[in-house]
Structure 1
Amino acid sequence: PNMRSRSVRSMILLLSLASCPALQPGQRLPARRSCSTIESTVTRRALLFTLPLAYSTAAHGAATGGGFVEGQFASVGGGPPKIKGLAPLTKGEPSAAELNRLVVGYQRLQFLLNNWDAETTVCIKGCKGAYESCGCVRDPLVVQSYMGYKSMNDPLFKAGDLMLRASSLIQNDADFERYNDAMETWNNKADAGNIMAYVSSWGEANPGGGQDNILRYLEKSRKEVVESANLLKVILDCLNITV
């Protein structure tokens, strides 16, 4: 109740200040009207429109499950390499252009692993100061972008479905068995890597949380990515696709 009353009083004050003639350029305060009279005429509808003003960035982060608003922080490594001309997903047996999504996805996983520390460290966007001064933290959620869980435009988005549709292209039984095993394991590993990245992102909020625990989760997430990349290479080899 106390928090609610303080929020209402804050919103009324904001409305009063915004509507006060004395604060408007070139305006004079009418003789028979004062800013305090605004409080008695504020409607419920007006209060609802001011609700966003009562919430801070931290509150938004807590409500959405993150510690910061998306767009305020950026990866030290710059994030996944930009992609041009990626073929859209279709149905049925995939074309060579569509299978190239797997090649691009594999290359991006290699980029992530080669730049792991930089890619899993985020800092305040545009900050040029020291690590501590720029609010830098280890955040492995970038893994979701590389594994195809962040956007439909990611090359590995629905990669498991693409692999399944491409299974008809395998030429012999031995490769088919190898391909099928890799495909099933890929789906399990991809999900595990995504979950581990999410768990790691909560950092010290995890049971027994602390910097050591954060790094432990990060290392588990990295190992999942390594195994996923190896499986994807098997898939490409069975399809006779050169990386």
Structure 2
Amino acid sequence: MSNEPARPDVGPIGGEMVRHGTGVDSNRAFPTNTYPEHLDPFVLFERFFIEPERGFPMHEHGGFEIVSYMIDGGMDHGDSLGVTHTATEGDVMRITAGSGIQHSEFPADGAACSGLQLWVNLPREAKGIDPSYDDATGDELPTEVEDGATVTTVVGDGSPIELHTRTEYLDVAVTDRWTWTIPDGWSGFLYGVAGHGTVDGERFAEGDVLPVTSAREVTLERDGAEAFRAVAVAGSPHEEPIRQRGPYVQ
């Protein structure tokens, strides 16, 4: 995938289905054939769908941080630090891979699960830090009812989940019309989780992504009676090349 600077903002585009070697399917927002760039500081983002007989056996990562946020069902996590944990709907897990960590991911209780996974690049000076793990339940994440939406902060102000990169990760249930304000100099994206609506007047549905590199405000609007849910993610770029080599980011 390209490491060139992100292109100017484009309209909503569809995610791309990816079949992992372990038989797990994902809808990837970026990088894809349609949008081959990373979105500094973000390496990739996708929604995973794990069937009961599938999963990810123990494998290694290094050089970045992983945020896994559960949408449906439960996922069993185990890692080389000795941590075991089951995350269920609304829960979040953070892995700082740093100098290297091994982990596994399997659906819990013999049922399928679905969630969102974000890879956040570590700045050059932090690539070799010791690996670590943290998690939080949905009840621990701050949720506010705002004009036009109910917003849960997965990462950002009030969330117990901390990253080495300044990041805002919001889970937004749009009830009417809601405007997302992106801090100056930050880049990010919207991703459709459920239902459909409009983003700046253009249709936006489950599995769609809107990369944002220059806009400072984006308006989401519900369309009809169907629920409309999206995540809004932005971060402060490191302005360093993102050199992804499979499960490692150098």
Structure with the higher fraction of residues in helix conformation: 1
Compute the TM-score of the two structures, normalised by the length of structure 2.
0.21
TM-score (norm 1): 0.21
